[in-house]
Amino acid sequence: MNLNKDKLGLGVTIGTGTSDLNTVAKHMDLAEKHDLEFVELSIYDWNIICGRKIILSELNKLKSLCKNHNLNFSVHGELSVNFLDEENIDFHKEVLKRDIEVASEINASHLVTHFGITSINNFNDTNKFNSLLKLQRDTYEEIGDYAKSHNVILTVENLFNFFDEQIHVPLPNIIFDQLKIINHSNVKATLDFSHGYINCEHYKVDFIDQISIMATISKHLHVHDSFGLQKKIWTYNNSEELSYGLGDLHLPIGWGNIPFDRIFEKLEFAKGLILILEIQERFIEYIPETIKKAKILFDKARIYSE
């Protein structure tokens, strides 16, 4: 499939919440039906990696499935990879290396991973926090070299606090600063608008200012809607979270209140941009109209000269 070198393409996340590759195949069929260039494979929800090793029979099933579809691929690695977790850093490195190997085997251009999180106590201890940031930078440089050797670009995603008040989740400007220091050709960024919205509301900083900074190094976008509210009350299920508008809801565009039109009119992005719709499968009937809205936004995306 031919791709624009500045804007690589539009895609949708598939396979979240299921390890059934027959379901994944149906999602790929849906993506092809709507002329999408990419699907993002949620391998963190699958059975491919076990005990920090790849199960070849499971990988071969995925490779066969990918070969049967005229799509390009990105991969979302394990959500729990955390390079600010000093105690378990070797585990995190090995899991991300396996993710890189899987991505390479299916010719996925981008591998999404998460920027680290740490405790409030570590964050408040300036020396400790700076030492953890250096550990993360050193690790990204090492893993970036590994990704480069496998022809994969690591795209580091911003998060929000989905644990508790004792956790510190860095804002987009910190991610920008750290990745600029690393300055590795194969370590770029994934800008998740809903994550940024929730985190900026939590820390009471300007959302547009924060994401404008991170956009300039982001090769990958995660687009889904929410109301910018952390989940602070008990809810029975996902439907009740939806009722209250709490948390990272992964809504179709327009169901929440993220100002996407303003965002895409104002922000400038780096070359090689992929936009992925991260919409929950429960909203699958709204995927077609969400794709139409996303295409309008993607056409507005301004690419700056690097």
Pick the most confident of 133-137, 270-274, 295-299.
133-137
The pTM assigned to this predicted structure is 0.95
pLDDT higher than 80, residue 65? yes
Residue 244 clears pLDDT 70, i.e. is over it: yes
- What is the helix, strand, coil percentage profile of the chain, to 5? 45, 20, 35
219 to each of 26, 80, 186, 214, 271, how far by Cα in Å?
A: 27, 21, 10, 10, 7
Q: How far apart are CA 73 and CA 12, in angstroms?
A: 10
Cα 216 to Cα 213: distance, rounded to the nearest angstrom = 6
Looking at the structure of the chain, the number of domains it has is: 1
Token pair of 240, please?
A: 């009740």
Q: DSSP string of 122-189?
A: HHHSHHHHHHHHHHHHHHHHHHHHHHHHTT-EEEEEP----S-TTEE---HHHHHHHHHHH--TTEEE
Domain boundaries, position 298: 7-303
Please indicate, yes or no, if residue 2 is contained in any of the structural domains. no
Do 31 and 6 form a contact (C-beta atoms < 8 A)?
A: no
Pairing of strands 167-168, 118-119: antiparallel
Rounded CA-CA distance 263/133 in Å is 29
In-domain check, residue 19: yes
Work out the pLDDT band at 203, boundaries 50, 70, 90: very high
Q: Give the CATH number, domain containing residue 213.
A: 3.20.20.150
What confidence tier does 19 reach under pLDDT thresholds 50, 70, 90? confident
In a domain, 1, yes or no: no
- Using the Cα atoms of residue 175, residue 193, residue 85 and residue 126 in order, give the sign of their dihedral: positive
- Token pair of 153 as six digits: 């670009």
Average the pLDDT over 16-35 and give the result. Answer: 88
**Residues 168-197 pLDDT 10s:** 999 999 999 999 999 999 999 999 999 999
Whether residue 175 is contained in a domain is answered as yes
- Half-sphere exposure for 179 (CA within 13 Å, toward CB): 30
